[in-house]
Amino acid sequence: MKKHIVMLAGISLLAACQAAERGADGSGEPMADDTDTALAEGADDSNEILAKKSLSGMDKAGADIDPTDGKDDELNQDIKLPAKTRYATYYLGSYAPKGKCAGSDQYLELDQTKITYGETTCMIKSIEGSGSTVKVNVNQCQAEGEKAADRSYQLDLPKMDELKISGSANADLVRCGSDG
């Protein structure tokens, strides 16, 4: 008799769980507190929508930006973005002459707030420019612990893994990790 009562209790519990999954009214809609099911059903759609929203509106005009894979993509598709946004989106990272990322005296590190080229680190004062080229004006420079002159760099990014620097320094560099 006890076995039958336990089995009936188990069946009742199972039926209650199945009813909750189908919705209390049998409509198939998840119940209000059934967040796991509701999130799982719309997860793919909501993730895609969230990704699109996070990539749009990066500038005040709300221009959409497609994600890039860093290989053979061109910045020219986003030339309408403000220079600061283009710098933050495309330029940040490490660069060096092809095959010399480790230990090169032409190692370039582009950061949100500073630029390090070789032994010289400078704070970014302003970023301007159009197309695939930005001009970065820097100040508060330090070279090997000593104060160094303010300067500016022209950075041209013809492809996502190639950078041409000119101005206070001139070099053709590649993004570290793409080859070197």
What pLDDT is stored for residue 40 in this prediction? 42
- Rounded to an integer, what distance in angstroms lies between the CA atom of residue 54 and that of residue 123? 28
Judge contact between 161 and 71, C-beta under 8 A.
Answer: yes
What pLDDT is stored for residue 18 in this prediction? 59
Q: Which of 174, 178, 138 minimizes the C-alpha distance to 154? A: 138
Write out the E strands in the chain. 93-96, 108-110, 114-117, 120-128, 133-143, 146-148, 151-159, 162-167, 171-175
3-state secondary structure (DSSP) of residue 3: helix
What pLDDT is stored for residue 66 in this prediction? 41
User: What is the CATH code of the structural domain delimited by 75-175?
Assistant: 2.40.128
User: Rounded to two decimals, what is the model's pTM?
Assistant: 0.56
- Rounded to an integer, what distance in angstroms lies between the CA atom of residue 101 and that of residue 148? 24
What pLDDT is stored for residue 133 in this prediction? 87
What pLDDT is stored for residue 139 in this prediction? 97
Any idea where the domains of the chain sit in the sequence?
2-55, 75-175
pLDDT by position in tens, the chain (length 180): 444 454 444 555 555 545 555 555 555 555 454 434 434 444 444 444 433 443 443 333 333 334 343 444 555 556 678 899 889 988 999 999 998 887 788 899 999 999 999 999 999 999 998 777 899 999 999 999 999 999 999 999 888 889 999 988 899 999 998 765
What pLDDT is stored for residue 81 in this prediction? 83
What pLDDT is stored for residue 76 in this prediction? 52
- Rounded to an integer, what distance in angstroms lies between the CA atom of residue 95 and that of residue 106? 8
